Amino acid sequence: MSVKPDDAVAETSPQPGDEPLVRLHDVHLSYGRTEVLHGIDLEVPAGRITGLLGPSGHGKTTLVNLVVGALKATSGEITVLGEPAPPRKMKPAIGYMPQSDALYDDLTADQNLRFFGSLYGLSRAKLDQAIPAVLHTVSLESGTGRKTVARFSGGMKRRLSLAVALVHSPRLLVLDEPTVGLDPVHRVRLWAAFRSMATAGATLLITTHVMEEAAGCDDIVMIHDGLVIAHGTPDQLVATAGTANLEEAFLTFEAQAEQVGQAEQDGHHA
């Protein structure tokens, strides 16, 4: 399917701000003959939280993997921190938290952070300062001690993965479903931390399928079937859809996109 975003719904632009740190223009990605991203256009403004909202399996993780350089687009242009993707020179300025926890189970939280921090070139003195701060941010400062990650709960591993992404104080944070498996208390605490980071000047690109979390973003990019079906602030999207809340707005945009796709298929078969 080759439906363009503006065929599905009129896009509402985010509020103007600094130069976007991430830009995607007409990005396509295919696996063999199957195209999974269909002409993505996206800008991630500096100093804001941009949420990629959509069901699982519809392209959110694929998109962030393109941004961090884990995948290469079939066609289109991607710029990250002023550099064409994959962003090799600017990679130290990016913090990435994947869906799957990439941790060493036989090491402690402190040892994991020291290892990954050293890969970013942090000195021992800087790590001595950074590690307690990031452990506090993810609520892991107590109870970890000499405990290896193998003995951590799923939620503790998820929070440590976030700490790894934060330890080098990156300009751009790319977080793929960062609160999956977390209890409501830790979820709320982490979103408060995300807001503090953005206020301090960091730029966050976060994937989620939780409407409540998306409502806490500055800008939302709604994704369905490898397409951007709407883009704007939470209030803009609700107003454009003429609905009572963000969930109903998504369903409205989704239905419009499916109607356009069906009409295009019918046209091909006519």
CA distance 15 to 6: 18
Does the pTM surpass 0.75? The reply is yes
Q: pLDDT per residue over 190-211, tens digit each? A: 999 999 999 999 999 999 988 9
Per-residue pLDDT of 218-261, as tens digits, reads 999 999 999 999 999 999 999 999 999 999 999 999 999 888 76
Confidence of residue 262 (pLDDT cuts 50, 70, 90): low
**pLDDT tens digits, 40-52:** 999 999 999 999 9
pLDDT in tens, 64-95: 999 999 999 999 999 999 999 888 888 889 99
Residue 70: how many CB atoms within 10 A of its CB?
13
Q: Which residues contact 57 (CB under 8 A, 6 or more apart)?
A: none
Q: Under CATH, which number does the domain 5-97+170-269 receive?
A: 3.40.50.300
Domain boundaries in the chain?
5-97+170-269
Q: In what order do the strands lie in the sheet with 83-84?
A: 34-44, 22-31, 75-80, 83-84
Confidence at residue 269, expressed as pLDDT on a 0 to 100 scale: 55
Edge-to-edge strands, sheet with 49-53: 94-97, 172-176, 203-208, 49-53, 219-224, 227-232
Nearest to 209 by CA among 254, 268, 163: 254
pLDDT of residue 15: 44
pLDDT in tens, 120-130: 999 999 999 99
